[in-house]
Amino acid sequence: MMVIEDTSIKFVSCDVVVLASNHNPSILNPDMLKNNHIVPMEWEVSETITTPPLSLVQFKNGISIRVEERKLTVSENYSDSSQFEKSAGAIAQDYVTKLSFTNYTDLGLNWAAVIERQEPVKWVSDRFYVPGKWKSEPYEMIGCEATFSFDCGQFVSNVKISPRVVDVQDNASNGMIVFNINHNFRGGGAILAKEGNIAKLLENRNIAFSQIRDLVIGGRLS
């Protein structure tokens, strides 16, 4: 996991999503990626799927590239030892630059992050839900979520907060809070047309971190 600053917030994955009217999944394979310098030649492949409707190339370092008819997704999955010679943003940028004839339409950046919390369902309920009889006996809340959307000017930020119990059988009080953050950019096609923009926009992770931090510690903290 990638720990940001000295807090308990850990980013576990990042997806760069590029929509288009006419992606061609059948051209995606390790040789195509390496020969076009989209990924380094020395990267080792762990899985490959190549079909007309969907293709996937997954590398042992945690990077994966998936192409569907209307969607390109480049993913980074973090571990404690993650070190990427080339980031998901740089890979996505090189992909759309090499295949510049494709009609790209939209861009989205997605992050997943977690914080550890005791009694995660109760934490989300107490943090974001108003008190009421519906939260008391004879009712027992076993699940809940909180969702937010923020206008950030160039993009809309959507945040989904979900509790996750680590092991129900061993200890139902131990768990984590999962944050799924999506930045959906306005005018994605124009953004994608400018070389270098995707990698630059991945700096928005700092905004995602700030949003999580404010949602967790703003006001009261259970």
Residue 163: name the closest of 213, 121, 126 by CA: 121
Which residues on neighbouring strands pair with residue 181, listed in sequence order? 111, 159
**Which amino acid makes up residue 216?**
V
- Is residue 61 included in any domain, yes or no? yes
What is the rounded distance in angstroms from the CA atom of residue 165 to the CA atom of residue 179?
14
Structural domain including 111 reads 2-217
In whole angstroms, what is the distance from residue 70 CA to residue 112 CA? 23
- Answer whether residue 163 is part of any domain: yes
Q: Which of 212, 217, 7, 222 is nearest to 125 (CA)?
A: 222
- Confidence (pLDDT) at 205: 76
The residue ranking higher by pLDDT, 219 or 64, is: 64
Mean pLDDT for the stretch of residues 101-111:
90
Q: What is the mean pLDDT of residues 22-47?
A: 96
Which pLDDT score, from 0 to 100, does residue 194 have?
63
In the 8-state DSSP scheme, what is residue 138?
Answer: T
Q: What are the beta bridge partners of residue 182?
A: 110, 158
Is residue 17 situated within a structural domain? Answer: yes
Q: Is residue 222 part of a domain?
A: no
In a domain, 143, yes or no: yes
Q: 202 or 167: which carries more pLDDT confidence?
A: 202
- How far is the CA of 183 from the CAs of 53, 127, 160, 168, 178, in angstroms? 26, 23, 12, 32, 17
**The pLDDT value given to residue 54:** 97
Considering the domain boundaries, does residue 206 fall inside one?
A: yes
Look at residue 161 and tell me if it is in a domain: yes
| Cα–Cα distance, 63 to 98 (Å, whole number) | 19
As for how many domains the chain has, the answer is 1
Mean pLDDT of the chain: 84
85 belongs to a structural domain: yes
The number of beta carbons lying within 10 Å of the beta carbon of residue 97 is 15
